[in-house]
Amino acid sequence: MKAIGIDLGTTNSVVAHYDPERAGATVLTNSDGENLTPSVVGLRTRDGQESILVGRTAVNFGVRQPKDTIVSVKRLMGRDFADPVVARSRGQLNYEITPGPDDDPRAHVVMGEQAYAPAHVSSLILEKLRRDASRALGGEVTHAVITVPAYFDNAQRAATREAGEKANLVVKKIIDEPTAAAIAFGLQAGQEGRHRVLVYDMGGGTFDISILHTARDQQGHGQFQVLSFLGDSWLGGDDFDRIIVEEIIRWVTERSGTDPSTDARFLLEAKRYAEQAKKQLSQDREADITIPAAFRAEGGPLVDVEMTITREWFEEQIEPLVARTMSLVQQALTKQDLTPEHISAGPGVPVVPRDQRRVGDPVPGLRAQPGRRSGGRGEQALRADR
């Protein structure tokens, strides 16, 4: 029996394995040689043959067949077609969402004319994660723990479990993402005293804050429990990328005289480069964006993008987004009768340096530690001692 832990994200998923000899978890590399597997499934039709693509290949192929490329399926898990979140997703996604067949009220996604339950699509992602993990570990993976957002209700948790089982996994446990993050950051629930942990999780498309506390279970073991959560399901790293994409659009429009923003292929390409530049700005003060043959207006010349953005500019642009996350942090603390002064220490992962400083602002001596990446990404855990 081999078991893995799966962070099944809206945008990306990660698999880790606990190694008892090292007494630590290691993030596994997938068959593309990457730690992150995009949570994307696509259908490719070639010479009349259909095949299912998962992960990076689905993302790359998505440029060709966007309406058969399912992204962010996690948003739809266990939700009815009539759910407002589904309605909003329908306006934003490039594929079709329908009610299920035979009066099934749950939202389904359409790939190649056929409707699939989100749990089915999710199981295709999990199946790839399982296969890649089996390869990395040199033996069949049979069991898994899967994380879900703290706000997932029973239907959403059940759909996640169903997806795992469909992927031939025995789902040992469904655990909350902030709990997994707290454990991954080495915070121990068994410690004496009352501790509360605030987890700041900036994902690709969603932003979640949770406050956990340590409690003892019936056997007297220390455990994390989620006390409260809030966030914004429509705020995430994608919005940060979008700011850079807008800048690329302006650059191209100025040079070609044509607005490229209706060209789906250009937009996908611009987004890819924008995300890369954003990540670079977490380390460097400047990032070059070079996109050869990015766009051609009808009858016009081929435009290569060659521009440079600075961290200073970017920080100014993202200010409203960061301010929004900070006001939610304030709300979360207030809800628990906490103030920033209660925060005593915390390891953290930078989303962008600006975020880091803000979370750390009211906390003398707090420094976010870059580079610790396990469990969920983009998470900062701050501990309140009181």
Ligand X SMILES: Nc1ncnc2c1ncn2[C@@H]1O[C@H](COP(=O)(O)OP(=O)(O)OP(=O)(O)O)[C@@H](O)[C@H]1O
Task: Answer with the entry of ligand X, Mg ion, none that 231 interacts with (C-beta below 5 to 8 A by kind).
Answer: none
Let me know if 173 is exposed, middle or buried by CB neighbors in 10 A (0-12, 13-18, 19+): exposed
Is residue 178 part of the contact set for Mg ion (CB under 5 A)?
Answer: no
Q: Which span sits near Mg ion by CB under 5 A: 7-15, 94-102, 132-140, 209-217?
A: 7-15
Catalytic hit among 7, 127, 176, 355: 7
Gap between the terminal Cα atoms of the chain: 42
Is residue 354 part of the contact set for ligand X (CB under 6 A)?
Answer: no
Q: How far apart are CA 231 and CA 321, in angstroms?
A: 13
C-alpha distances in Å from residue 86, one per residue of 20, 76, 79, 83, 345: 42, 6, 7, 5, 39
Q: Which span sits near Mg ion by CB under 5 A: 74-82, 155-163, 299-307, 369-377?
A: 369-377
Structure-derived torsion over alpha carbons of residues 183, 188, 190, 194, reported in degrees to the nearest 10: -110
| Closer to Mg ion by Cβ: residue 73 or 111 | 73
Catalytic hit among 162, 201, 247, 355: 201
| Closer to ligand X by Cβ: residue 303 or 328 | 328
Are 177 and 194 in contact by the 8 Å Cβ rule? The answer is: no
Does the annotation count 192 as an active-site position? no
Binder among 376, 381, 383, 384 for Mg ion (CB under 5 A): 376
Does the annotation count 7 as an active-site position? yes
Is residue 62 part of the contact set for ligand X (CB under 6 A)?
Answer: no
Task: Answer with the entry of Mg ion, ligand X, none that 204 interacts with (C-beta below 5 to 8 A by kind).
Answer: ligand X
Binder among 198, 351, 359, 366 for ligand X (CB under 6 A): 351
Site string for ligand X, 64-83 (x = CB under 6 A): ----------x---------
Interface residues for ligand X in 134-193 (CB under 6 A)? none
Are 50 and 112 in contact by the 8 Å Cβ rule? The answer is: yes
- Find the radius of gyration of the CA atoms of the chain: 22
Q: Which span sits near ligand X by CB under 6 A: 50-58, 133-141, 331-339, 371-379?
A: 371-379
At position 300, the amino acid (one-letter code) is G
Binder among 164, 178, 203, 360 for ligand X (CB under 6 A): 203
SS3 state of residue 167 = coil
Is residue 282 part of the contact set for ligand X (CB under 6 A)?
Answer: yes
Is residue 377 part of the contact set for ligand X (CB under 6 A)?
Answer: yes
Tokens found for residue 117: 């339950």
Q: Taking the mean position of all CA atoms in its chain, how far away is CA 197?
A: 21
Is residue 236 part of the contact set for ligand X (CB under 6 A)?
Answer: yes
Task: Answer with the entry of Mg ion, ligand X, none that 179 interacts with (C-beta below 5 to 8 A by kind).
Answer: none
Q: How far apart are CA 159 and CA 165, in angstroms?
A: 10
Binding residues with Mg ion: total (CB under 5 A): 3
Per-residue burial over 45-55, b = 16 or more CB atoms within 10 Å of its CB, e = otherwise? eeeeeeebbbb
Are 205 and 231 in contact by the 8 Å Cβ rule? The answer is: no
Q: How far apart are CA 81 and CA 108, in angstroms?
A: 8
Interface residues for Mg ion in 189-248 (CB under 5 A)? 203
Q: How far is the CB of 68 from Mg ion (least distance, A)?
A: 25
Does the annotation count 217 as an active-site position? no
Element (H, E) at 315: helix 311-335
Helices 353-360 and 311-335, packing angle to 10 deg: 40
Q: How far is the CB of 376 from ligand X (least distance, A)?
A: 6
Does the annotation count 201 as an active-site position? yes
Q: Footprint of Mg ion on this chain (CB under 5 A)?
A: 9, 203, 376
Residues of this chain that interact with ligand X (CB under 6 A) are: 9-12, 74, 201, 203-206, 236-238, 275, 278-279, 282, 351-352, 376-378
- Residues acting as catalytic residues: 7, 74, 177, 201
